[in-house]
Chain A
């Protein structure tokens, strides 16, 4: 029973390139969340998705960032034209339903380094 799978674990991109981060939720989980963690900081909410729907993207920067969770396949967080400030750890979490009774299950994260 695999947990939340994220890949790649580490990603290095030059400024201006695109970064694609993938997240496969736990089996049976239809709710996916993306969080970003800057060095020495706690996690910051970015976006909440269900299959084929963006429920809340209030934590996403308005430009260059997008997320999707298609009917088939993993959720993708896409960052276009990356800048040094995008360097961070990006975590995906999934849940069976809302958070009322359960915590999140997090993946191990993708550490993005922009050079």
Chain B
């Protein structure tokens, strides 16, 4: 598997339900970020969690990071149709670069009204 691999590849839920997406990575990281991409558009930065943080919240988003398991999860609560998009995790790998992100293939979330 590659660095920053999301799971599941696709997720379909009803409006109002919670959506959980997972991300696994291989190498040590400085931080991990989640991005959203609407179809045909650019990526929008959602949240950044540093390697020394375990949980972070932003509105309806909750991100956890478990560096011992090299995994992260993104929870979207009370989902809305407008949350339909692809979600990518991206890792800022160690080595002093501090600028190069490695993206996974993404989770396609569909929220049905």
Contact = CB atoms under 8 A, between A and B. Distances in A.
Contact of B99 (A99, A105, A108): A99
A84 to B, nearest CB: 21
Contacts of A85: none
Nearest to B102: A45
B45 A103 contact: yes
Contacts of A45: 100-102
B41 interface: yes
Q: Secondary structure of the B side of the interface?
A: strand
Which interface class (under 10, 10 to 19, 20 to 34, 35 or more) fits B?
A: 20 to 34
A109 B41 contact: yes
Interface in A89-103: 91, 93, 95, 98-103
Interface residues of A, number: 30
Contact of A99 (B4, B41, B44, B101): B101
Contacts of B101: 43, 45, 99, 104
Nearest to A6: B42
A33 to B, nearest CB: 7
A63 interface: no
Interface of B: 4, 30-31, 33, 35, 40-46, 48, 88, 90, 92, 97-106
